[in-house]
Structure 1
Amino acid sequence: MKIAIVRQRYNPFGGAERFVERALGALAGDGAEVTLITRSWDGAPREGFRQITCDPAYSRLLGGRAARDRSFAAAAQAEMTQGGFDITQSHERIAGCMIFRAGDGVHAAWLDHRARILGPLQRATQRWSPYHRYVLGAEKAMFAHPALRAVICNSQMVADEVARYYGVAHDKLQVIYNGVDTEVFHPGLAAEFRKSLRAANGIPDEAPLLLFVGSGFERKGVPQLLRAAARMQRTDARIVIVGADRKLKAMRKLSELLGLSRRVLFTGPLKDVRPWYGAADGFVLPTLYDPCPNAALEALACGLPVVTSTTCGAQEWVRSGDNGWVVDAVDIDGLAQRLDDLAGLAGNAEARTAARAVAEPLTLPAMADRLLTLYRALGR
């Protein structure tokens, strides 16, 4: 079977890229001939697949991001057409692919959710943005294209949005959750890292520690998290924010203005977050929009109860009061209350067991098996 997977560029901290790397390994191990069509990729495994680099010129001045994405889409379409592939799977919004993996969710839905925190002028700017208009057009064309036979959705939330916004038939929507390595991410990390990492960062062992992991602070809800933290009753709780963002300095400043300097720690981006999963008592991700964050799944695998939002695909794994809570991302008072509740679960063995139980069936082999089943069905 000849399979082409399309992803424009590699981000070492991106969940979609990790999914591609895992999928490539599973496919190559099954004997498939896998081709990665990309503009820039340095992180995928080199054995068992070949790479086609499509990096056509585009005008940064005249078109910016829209011109970049349009030029790559045209080049990728040509490669998909000429390559003689049995299956073409795109992680970008490119019309003509057989499978689209909606790892970034539905752009139209994201814009609607983001508009909730924007002022009138910002909403107008978003509505008429050339980039957003291009993406919406590409998204619509892709979902309407007759070549599209399946959409891989990494949560039920995304599947529902694809059907609601674009009318895609339900029999085309395949919910395949992201996989997690349950041997790498596990509750035993607490015994390995909790005491030493807390001591190194001046965090008392008895203090409830709530962990945030994510890049793209606006979308992931860091401003709301900080404002909610300032309204918590549990002033002994600490919050650690792990992630890369161009607004990192601004968020640190906001933390200072809210009087949170002693309670909130920004680590910046980390390649290995496992020590912080081990040191934490709970995980929080009040995201404005997140189809299915790997970080939430990793946290659950480590036995951390979770507070997340109604616009996060991970919500379907959360059982209120059992292994966490779900709250509206822009409800600051409601989020503050749930942060207090999450801090109250520190040391709760039943909550940690319930969190781990969610992740145990969502393994990498389980994800790979579902992918291979889909590919075989479509490749007949």
Structure 2
Amino acid sequence: MKKFRLALVRQKYRPDGGAERFVSRALEALDDQDIDLNVITREWQGPVNPGWHIHICNPRKWGRISRERGFANAARALWETKQFDIVQSHERIPGCDLYRAGDGVHRRWLEQRARILPGWKSRLMFSDRYHRYVMNAEREMYTDSALRGVICNAEMIKREIIEDFGVPESKIRVIYNAIDNTLFTPPDAATFIALREQWQLPVQATCLIYVGSGFERKGLDAAIRAIAPTDRHLLVVGKDKDQQRYQSLAKTLRCDNRVHFFGVQQETLPFYQMADGLLLPTLYDPFPNVILEAMACGLPVITSTGCGGAEFIENGRNGYVCDALDIDALQQAVMALPARALDSQQGASARARIMGCTAQHLSAQLIGFYQELLK
């Protein structure tokens, strides 16, 4: 394959963000290919390789719309000047060659969020200037003649894009995220016990882990309500400015002694390794990396119908899929999981399901798609 110039566009690189991890994994996976790698961003806090070219693009901003519009205009001006062969945007910017729909479809997220808001609040949300700006930018991008391809990380998102924007199926590729299954592994029995003791969790208890910041979207309310009437513990890894509200909910439901808030953790592996399952009743999520990480660690997963990761779950085999707001179904799923993931059939099935999601496979799929677009 002859050397070509690829530009990846992401407004802000945060090391803990799913889209950012896709970008850095893709860069690493593509690093041994003969590709001139460029990143257009406001701010890059990620790993830097001498062969990558980071283009800082940081216009002034006064609010959310100004931030989005300013970056979009500046990024587009930069890529038009540089004349890259392929511009792969991870932001909704009309004029890109290739878009990765890592955030899903904005209107679909608002529809799911409206389910938990009072009627007047959801009406306000849909008429909000920022949300209207994002939906318009998204529509403009999908209908722009420059768009040659779309990468989705779930079949669910592919369906939504076809239904909402009429993008031909031939333009869309579903490419699942990669997971390092040599780093994320089930613990041995001694490690499991040591971790439980280190974090002062009862060794005999069944503990479900919840990983994610932005508790409303990721369904922490439903997760707490699902474990409340059971004897299960919930390990909450992540942050939210409204954390106090969720702590109060656990107290009201008299399960605060079983809901443990650990905040954001630089290293999540030990938390997966001392858990017995992942509980993520997210309202809307294209395909969170935490599902792959948990499954690689041998954890069965309970997630929602609004999560693209549900495509990897077979009810009763490696977890359960429920509506995000169906507390009864979530409760039943919580009790149906094996009390101990370690050495369980469901845990083994969960890990087996993700073994094909390697960096090499991701790289091969991306390279194949790029070659098609370059033709």
Q: TM-score, normalised by structure 2?
A: 0.96
Q: Secondary structure at the residue paired with 1:2?
A: strand
**Partner residue in 2 for 1:209:** 207
Aligned residues: 372
**Partner residue in 2 for 1:157:** 156
Cα distance in 2 for partners of 1:355, 1:326 equals 14
User: Is the contact between residue 21 and residue 45 of structure 1 (CA under 8 Å) also seen in structure 2?
Assistant: no
Cα distance in 2 for partners of 1:126, 1:345 equals 42
Cα distance in 1 for partners of 2:337, 2:48 equals 38
Q: 1:22 aligned to 2:25?
A: yes
Cα distance in 1 for partners of 2:189, 2:106 equals 41
Q: CA deviation at 1:57?
A: 1.3
2:270 aligned partner, one-letter code: P
**Cα offsets for 1:22-71 (capped at 9, x unmatched):** 11122232021111000111113232211111111132xxxx21111000
Q: CA deviation at 1:346?
A: 4.1
2:221 aligned partner, one-letter code: P
**Partner residue in 1 for 2:319:** 324
**Partner residue in 1 for 2:41:** 38
Q: TM-score, normalised by structure 1?
A: 0.95
Superposition pairs for residues 210-359 of structure 1, below 5 Å? 210-232=208-230, 235=231, 237-344=232-339, 346-347=341-342, 349-359=344-354
Identity %: 44
User: Is the contact between residue 298 and residue 342 of structure 2 (CA under 8 Å) also seen in structure 1?
Assistant: no
Q: Secondary structure at the residue paired with 2:91?
A: coil
- Deviating more after overlay: 76-85 vs 253-262: 253-262
Q: CA deviation at 1:253?
A: 2.2
Q: CA deviation at 1:115?
A: 0.8
**Partner residue in 2 for 1:55:** 58
**Cα offsets for 1:83-105 (capped at 9, x unmatched):** 11100000000000010000111
**Partner residue in 2 for 1:91:** 90
**Partner residue in 1 for 2:77:** 78
Q: CA deviation at 1:4?
A: 0.5
Q: Cα distance 1:2–1:111, how it changes in 2: closer, same or farther (>3 A)?
A: same
Superposition pairs for residues 106-121 of structure 1, below 5 Å? 106-121=105-120
- Deviating more after overlay: 253-262 vs 127-136: 253-262
**Cα offsets for 1:149-185 (capped at 9, x unmatched):** 1110001111111111111110111000000001001
**Partner residue in 2 for 1:133:** 132
Cα distance in 2 for partners of 1:249, 1:37 equals 37
- Deviating more after overlay: 344-353 vs 43-52: 344-353
Structure 1: segments with no counterpart, 5+ residues: none
1:3 aligned partner, one-letter code: L
**Partner residue in 2 for 1:144:** 143
Cα distance in 1 for partners of 2:249, 2:197 equals 26
Cα distance in 1 for partners of 2:265, 2:194 equals 17
Q: 1:2 aligned to 2:5?
A: yes
User: Is the contact between residue 345 and residue 351 of structure 1 (CA under 8 Å) also seen in structure 2?
Assistant: no
2:145 aligned partner, one-letter code: P
Q: CA deviation at 1:347?
A: 4.8
1:74 aligned partner, one-letter code: N
- Deviating more after overlay: 1-10 vs 77-86: 77-86
- Deviating more after overlay: 286-295 vs 238-247: 238-247
Q: Cα distance 1:358–1:290, how it changes in 2: closer, same or farther (>3 A)?
A: same
Q: CA deviation at 1:249?
A: 2.5
1:177 aligned partner, one-letter code: Y
1:270 aligned partner, one-letter code: Q
Cα distance in 1 for partners of 2:98, 2:177 equals 16
Q: Cα distance 1:370–1:155, how it changes in 2: closer, same or farther (>3 A)?
A: same
Structure 2: segments with no counterpart, 5+ residues: none
**Partner residue in 2 for 1:69:** 68
**Cα offsets for 1:257-285 (capped at 9, x unmatched):** 22111111010000111111111111111
Q: CA deviation at 1:190?
A: 4.2
User: Is the contact between residue 190 and residue 277 of structure 1 (CA under 8 Å) also seen in structure 2?
Assistant: no
User: Is the contact between residue 319 and residue 325 of structure 1 (CA under 8 Å) also seen in structure 2?
Assistant: yes
Q: CA deviation at 1:339?
A: 1.1
Q: CA deviation at 1:348?
A: 5.5
Cα distance in 2 for partners of 1:218, 1:346 equals 27
Cα distance in 1 for partners of 2:244, 2:106 equals 27
